[in-house]
Amino acid sequence: MVVSGVGLSTTARLSDIAAQAGVSEATVSRVLNGKTNVSATTRQTVLAALDVLGYERPTRLHQRSAGLIGLITPELSNPIFPALAQVMAQVLSRHGYTPVLCTQTPGGSTEDELVDMLLDRGVAGIVFVSGLHADSTADHDRYARLGHRQLPYVLINGYSDRIDAPFISLDDHAATRMAVRHLVSLGHRRIGLAIGQHRYVPAQRKIEGYIAAMCELLGLTREEAAYTIRHTLFSVEGGHTAADALLDKGCTAIVCGSDMMALGAVRAVRGRGLEVPRDIAVVGFDDSPLIAFTEPPLTTIRQPVEAMATAAANALLEEVRGNPAQHGEFKFQPELVMRGSTASVRDRT
């Protein structure tokens, strides 16, 4: 069957679009042929499905962008950041806005420079992912200045009560408690934490959750629990370095602040002629794309990326439309995903 004038030549393609959009093939056909008996929301959903599946929109359906939205993220080497950006971009595009992705790289543009660039381009709003708002030592007045300019913004991961805006956060405290509880249930007693610099709010919360769990479940003092914390970079190399230090302290299990760090920890274990999980258990953080296909598949704490990114995009859209979203922090719950990098502790006596 040929759909007139849209360049889609098979029923199979119509069915793919219909399945992606959650509507009937007849509805897809009406949208693609420019019929008017379709609601604006349904039309946007079908057009978003075209974008997601990689089909080019028919020329007649191209619409003028409702405006630009800036997305400022850290460098994209950590897969969790492009995953968040992708979901937000899909939501914004579905509502007619054009996302502008700006990434911070070492030696590249600063967050303030990226904000100035976006302001010069007349963006309608900005989403900040793990930006300076997450740094407890940074000057947070920069966000108040955006508020004075009536520019809506939303912040992901890194709450500060000095900033009046919607925050979307993972419950980091609950996440590390969850990881420690899992390892204790497997018989581990010497559990280390490889984490980023203490000035970052998500790291502070992970540390507090870890210490609370170690004290509650293993009867340690805060000082004893803190002995097996190692601060490092959120990278494979950082995880490797931290794991080496924690192995020297006799840890049989390591909780990491990111999946990339966990891959570095696995590499450090293997570098000593040991195996994961037979000798050392490793837990990651994020459940990044493809992490289930590592060797061994990584046990990790999952961030609900789709839910968090969708909430951030929708909150910003409400702000842009003049319907202020509730300011303050919205916490999302993590999930422990058990795979092959954790197992019961071996008797090493």
For 34, the domain range is 11-61
Residues 281 and 214 in one domain: yes
Residue where a domain terminates, one of 25, 43, 61: 61
Residues 152 and 76 in one domain: yes
Average the pLDDT over 39-53 and give the result: 80
In this structure, is residue 342 part of a structural domain?
A: no
| Strand 299-302 with 335-337, pairing | antiparallel
Average the pLDDT over 274-295 and give the result: 93
Residues 52 and 156 in one domain: no
User: Which pLDDT score is estimated for 156?
Assistant: 97
pTM above 0.85, yes or no: no
Residues 93 and 140 in one domain: yes
Residues 48 and 166 in one domain: no
Q: What is the CATH number of the domain that holds 242?
A: 3.40.50.2300
AA letter at 73: T
End-to-end CA distance of the chain: 71
Average the pLDDT over 101-123 and give the result: 91
Handedness of CA 25, 27, 28, 33 (dihedral sign): positive
- Other CB atoms within a 10 A radius of the CB of residue 124 amount to 21
Q: 84: which 2 tokens?
A: 């968040």
Residues 76 and 97 in one domain: yes
Integer-rounded Cα radius of gyration of the chain: 23
Residues 292 and 229 in one domain: yes
Q: How far is residue 308's CA from residue 85's CA, in Å, rounded to a whole number?
A: 11
More confident residue, 208 or 348: 208
| Strand 166-170 with 328-332, pairing | parallel
In this structure, is residue 337 part of a structural domain?
A: no
In this structure, is residue 190 part of a structural domain?
A: yes
**Tens-digit pLDDT profile for residues 122-178:** 999 999 999 999 999 999 999 999 988 999 999 999 999 999 999 999 999 999 999
Q: How far is residue 88's CA from residue 312's CA, in Å, rounded to a whole number?
A: 8
Closest CA relative to residue 158, chosen from 122, 193, 189, 197: 197
Q: Which residue has the tokens 């108040």?
A: 144
- Other CB atoms within a 10 A radius of the CB of residue 121 amount to 10
AA letter at 181: R
Q: DSSP state, 135?
A: B
pLDDT band at 60 (very low <50, low <70, confident <90, very high): low
Average the pLDDT over 241-259 and give the result: 97
Q: What is the CATH number of the domain that holds 32?
A: 1.10.260.40
In this structure, is residue 6 part of a structural domain?
A: no
The mean predicted confidence, pLDDT, of the chain is: 90
In this structure, is residue 345 part of a structural domain?
A: no
In this structure, is residue 319 part of a structural domain?
A: yes
User: Which pLDDT score is estimated for 63?
Assistant: 58
Residues 148 and 216 in one domain: no
In this structure, is residue 340 part of a structural domain?
A: no
User: Which pLDDT score is estimated for 20?
Assistant: 86
Q: How far is residue 286's CA from residue 271's CA, in Å, rounded to a whole number?
A: 24
Q: How far is residue 261's CA from residue 74's CA, in Å, rounded to a whole number?
A: 16
Residues 161 and 176 in one domain: no
AA letter at 226: A
281 in Cβ contact with 252 (< 8 Å) = yes
| Strand 281-286 with 299-302, pairing | parallel
175 in Cβ contact with 210 (< 8 Å) = no
Q: How far is residue 281's CA from residue 278's CA, in Å, rounded to a whole number?
A: 7
How many domains, the chain?
A: 3
User: Which pLDDT score is estimated for 9?
Assistant: 43
What angle do helix axes 25-32 and 11-21 make, rounded to 10 degrees? 100
Residues 228 and 296 in one domain: yes
pLDDT band at 289 (very low <50, low <70, confident <90, very high): confident
pLDDT band at 2 (very low <50, low <70, confident <90, very high): very low
Residues 194 and 270 in one domain: yes
In this structure, is residue 132 part of a structural domain?
A: yes
Average the pLDDT over 280-286 and give the result: 97
pLDDT band at 349 (very low <50, low <70, confident <90, very high): very low
Residues 287 and 234 in one domain: yes
Closest CA relative to residue 202, chosen from 130, 106, 265, 138: 130
Q: Is the pLDDT of residue 65 over 70?
A: no
Residue where a domain terminates, one of 39, 61, 83: 61
User: Which pLDDT score is estimated for 61?
Assistant: 60
Q: Is the pLDDT of residue 196 over 60?
A: yes
pLDDT band at 50 (very low <50, low <70, confident <90, very high): confident
